Amino acid sequence: NAGVTQTPKFQVLKTGQSMTLQCAQDMNHNSMYWYRQDPGMGLRLIYYSASEGTTDKGEVPNGYNVSRLNKREFSLRLESAAPSQTSVYFCASSEQAGAGEQYFGPGTRLTVT
Amino acid sequence: AQSVTQPDIHITVSEGASLELRCNYSYGATPYLFWYVQSPGQGLQLLLKYFSGDTLVQGIKGFEAEFKRSQSSFNLRKPSVHWSDAAEYFCAVAGGSYIPTFGRGTSLIVHP
């Protein structure tokens, strides 16, 4: 059972480059989330999708866009990467928004130089 | 608005000793509360959760947590720590929006 998968695991970008982080879940969950984790800052919510067809901003959405491609997939796009976006990015899913357990992917470590 | 505070950035314990990790939340009503664990290089895994009912919650790996409304706390405990418990621990609170807010984490170091 794969759970939540993320690709790539590691990525190095130059300032101004763009990229898309992919996330997929096989648990038939309705809700999906993107977090970033920085040292001493815990996890901060970037965007979430409460259900297929909806997306909402979280705490730190600037510089990011998301697409809920279908029920399984939720991608995060950096249009013009900046060094401040160097972080570890986690995708998560849950049956319903918030109230239930979240299942996390293994993370993508992104470095922007 | 909801918020959560984990006052301890690092905690060091000896193997076999007891453990208590502190978590304080801010929310006007009774929230949903969670503890997650993150091993190095891994994603987060749920240890336990509190939604309602019994204020002492049992979780996986021998952990428990107690919800104390009067103190706005949800502290995580384990009677005897194993070396494999060394990890980062996150408390999370979900209030009216039902989207969890995470604390900054507590890093647990276990000495042999």
Q: How far apart are CA B31 and CA B63, in angstroms?
A: 20
| Confidence at residue B1, expressed as pLDDT on a 0 to 100 scale | 80
Q: Write phi, then psi, for B67 (nearest 5 degrees).
A: -85, 125
What are A28's two structure tokens?
């038939």
pLDDT(A34) > 80: yes
Q: What is the pLDDT of residues A88-110, one digit of tens each?
A: 999 999 987 766 789 999 999 99
- Beta strands at A103-104 and B10-14: parallel, antiparallel or unpaired: unpaired
Do B4 and A41 touch, CB atoms closer than 8 A? no
Could you tell me the pLDDT band of residue A14, with boundaries at 50, 70 and 90?
very high
Q: Do A97 and B99 touch (CB under 8 A)?
A: yes
Please give the mean pLDDT across all residues of chain B. Answer: 93
Q: What's the average model confidence in pLDDT over A55-73?
A: 96
Q: Which of B39, B20, B23 is closest to B103 using CA atoms?
A: B23
- Asked if the Cβ–Cβ distance from B94 to A42 is below 8 Å, we say no
CB contact at 8 A, A90 and A105? yes
Task: Flag whether pLDDT at B80 surpasses 70.
Answer: yes
Q: What is the DSSP letter of A73?
A: B
Of the candidates B94, B102, B103, the beta carbon closest to that of A99 is on: B94
B25 touches chain A (CB under 8 A): no
C-alpha separations of B98 from A12, A64, B21, B110 in Å: 34, 22, 24, 34
